Structure 1
Amino acid sequence: MRQISSFYTMLKSYLHRFYPWQALKLLSKSTRNPHPCIPEPQQLAENAVKQVESILTAVYHSHAVKEDPNICLKKSLGHQLQISPSSIQGAGMGVFLKGSCKKGSIVCFYPGTIYLPSEPLLFASIANRYILKCYDGVFVDAKPTGLSGRIHKSIYHRENWPGAIQISDATWMTKTPRNPLAVGHIVNNGTTEYQPNVFYHEIDIPPVFPRDLRQYIPNIYWSSIDPLTTTTRMVGLIATRDIHNEELFSVYMDTV
């Protein structure tokens, strides 16, 4: 009986980590109804791109004046983020907001490689808990290590060759990210005790977005899509309520 129980536990753990199994579960679920505290989608869409531009402008300014990006963001946004041991026992590291932000504000970004629904993600999805599925079937792989990390670095160098317009940032996989808000993949799942205070929201950056700011976007497409002629997908974690000096919690695999 002990061997059967051990095998069942191992199989359950494997299936949880094996993305095709997770994908089948997602297909059987309908899109979640919006949380009552979440602003209307149209209002979010109109405001999100402006917020992204404001945030990345602050990051750009910090590097131009050689100042700590966190300090610049605290001045412009009223808060900064810190990675520390999570309040949830056994959950590893978590993301803490220091300062205050209003409901509807972009708190951080979910980085990673962007895959269209028809593109190959099978091997990178194995033992990968960092894959986020967007409402339209687009996937974002935010795992910074292993095959996922190598794929992201390879694509980054493919697109950001010397002399080209820098369209993305890969430093989110290091200990010193140029964009300190590219930490959405570290945000822990909420629990009954620690209720979610942020949710995932897809943001499509238009081709007319300032080129100088693109170097701080922590996302890049797996396929060769020109972001200067088509939209660029980003995912922001947006506050469902006013947040003040507390850890961020969301829901993994959420579809808005």
Structure 2
Amino acid sequence: MLRKFGTLWKSYKYRFVPWLAFNFHKRSVRSVKDRGVDKIIPECVLLDQLRALTSALLQAQTWALPTIQCHHQLSYHLALQLFLQVMEETYGFHVYRAPSSLGGLGVLATTDRSCHVAVQQGQLVALYPGTIYLPVQPIFFQSINNPFIFRCIDGIMVDGNDKRISKALFKSCSSRDRVGPFPIADTSWLTDCLVNPLNVGQYVNNQSLDITGHSSNVAYQEMTIHPGDVPLEERQYLPNLWYSPPEALPVMDLPLRIVGLVATRNIQKGEELLSDYFTIIY
């Protein structure tokens, strides 16, 4: 029991802000070759991969979702299958939350194709959802008993918890930042029916060689979405927004931090996604 707790704590402590505050002198951010650089693939490639799915989701919602919503009792199941099918047709695979080999929930990759490899190296496989906090903004209470806080290289933090105060804050910020009829961010990741299947990155577990015997197969890559990179109508599929944006600027004129998880090698059909919180990129 103590051994299991120790394994869980080793993974959790790097996302627990009070522990980070008292251990600032230790390695508390991911280690990369050059400071501020964690590029596994070029940013333009990552953006193209992301846009391919968001545009496909928009088209599918425009044409198919009104029909699905007419089937009241089946709407949840049909909508979920639609979104997974869009990802499968766009990327050749899809990801989903499922019981993890480490206990609790994890993220698995699979494909409907008759092949062993589901994901090719260099492919975007997930996004880390949540509210974005600058280093000077308050996040202490949100961090208590919260294993889903991701710390970026520059100290920016993303709170990917889909429960309690974190959930309420994200929904509140989403309502605040709405632009006319367009949502500014995806809130479906707070539910069991994700509109964008990529938005499960907070459930990707850290590698644990002593338990699974498997090394990491994905790594985090941070990227800044600049105004105009993603059309307004497709922003509803991105799972991030700012906790407190500057009042002087419209939200659509602000850059947006996103954190993608990119495959560092080919991933087999049915394989669990495993990351390394301190991946060194060469």
TM-score range, shorter chain: 0.7 to 0.9
Structure 1 residue 95 and structure 2 residue 107: aligned?
A: yes
What's the CA shift for 1:156? 1.1
Question: Are the aligned partners of 1:94 and 1:247 in contact in 2 as well (CA < 8 Å)?
Answer: yes
Structure 1 residue 204 and structure 2 residue 229: aligned?
A: no
Question: Are the aligned partners of 1:115 and 1:139 in contact in 2 as well (CA < 8 Å)?
Answer: yes
Whole-angstrom distance in 2 between the partners of 1:42 and 1:66 = 35
Counterpart of 2:137 (choices 104, 110, 119) is: 119
Q: Secondary structure at the match of 2:23?
A: helix
Q: Which residue of 1 aligns with 2:198?
A: 181
Which runs of structure 2 are paired with 1:50-69 in the superposition (5 Å)? 50-66=48-64, 68-69=82-83
Q: Which residue of 2 aligns with 1:81?
A: 95
Question: Residue 100 of structure 2 aligns to which amino acid in structure 1?
Answer: S
Deviations 1:101-131 (A, max 9, x none): 2211110110000001111111111111110
Whole-angstrom distance in 2 between the partners of 1:40 and 1:32 = 9
Question: Are the aligned partners of 2:150 and 2:158 in contact in 1 as well (CA < 8 Å)?
Answer: yes
Q: Which residue of 2 aligns with 1:191?
A: 208
Counterpart of 1:156 (choices 170, 174, 192) is: 174
Deviations 1:54-73 (A, max 9, x none): 12112222212326011111
Kindly tell me: are residues 41 and 171 of structure 1, through their superposed partners in 2, closer, same or farther at Cα, counting changes over 3 Å? Answer: same
Question: Are the aligned partners of 1:135 and 1:255 in contact in 2 as well (CA < 8 Å)?
Answer: no
Question: Are the aligned partners of 2:218 and 2:263 in contact in 1 as well (CA < 8 Å)?
Answer: yes
What's the CA shift for 1:235? 0.7
Question: Are the aligned partners of 2:121 and 2:267 in contact in 1 as well (CA < 8 Å)?
Answer: yes
Q: Which residue of 1 aligns with 2:157?
A: 139
Kindly tell me: are residues 212 and 255 of structure 1, through their superposed partners in 2, closer, same or farther at Cα, counting changes over 3 Å? Answer: farther
Q: Which residue of 1 aligns with 2:262?
A: 238
- Normalised to the residue count of structure 1, the TM-score between the two structures is 0.84
Question: Residue 253 of structure 2 aligns to which amino acid in structure 1?
Answer: T
Kindly tell me: are residues 147 and 70 of structure 1, through their superposed partners in 2, closer, same or farther at Cα, counting changes over 3 Å? Answer: same
Question: Residue 141 of structure 1 aligns to which amino acid in structure 2?
Answer: D
Deviations 1:75-100 (A, max 9, x none): 11000112221123xx2121110122
Q: Secondary structure at the match of 1:41?
A: coil
Whole-angstrom distance in 2 between the partners of 1:31 and 1:253 = 4
Q: Which residue of 2 aligns with 1:71?
A: 85
Structure 1 residue 46 and structure 2 residue 58: aligned?
A: no
Structure 1 stretch displaced more, 190-199 or 225-234: 225-234
Q: Which residue of 1 aligns with 2:274?
A: 249
Unaligned regions of 5+ residues in structure 2, if any? 66-81, 112-117
Whole-angstrom distance in 2 between the partners of 1:202 and 1:251 = 14
**RMSD value over aligned CA atoms?**
2.6
Q: Which residue of 2 aligns with 1:222?
A: 243
Question: Residue 238 of structure 1 aligns to which amino acid in structure 2?
Answer: V
Question: Residue 124 of structure 1 aligns to which amino acid in structure 2?
Answer: Q
What's the CA shift for 1:165? 3.6
Identity of counterpart residues, as a percentage? 33
Unaligned regions of 5+ residues in structure 1, if any? none
Whole-angstrom distance in 1 between the partners of 2:226 and 2:106 = 31
Whole-angstrom distance in 2 between the partners of 1:101 and 1:145 = 30
- Normalised to the residue count of structure 2, the TM-score between the two structures is 0.77
Kindly tell me: are residues 24 and 254 of structure 1, through their superposed partners in 2, closer, same or farther at Cα, counting changes over 3 Å? Answer: farther
Question: Are the aligned partners of 1:45 and 1:203 in contact in 2 as well (CA < 8 Å)?
Answer: yes
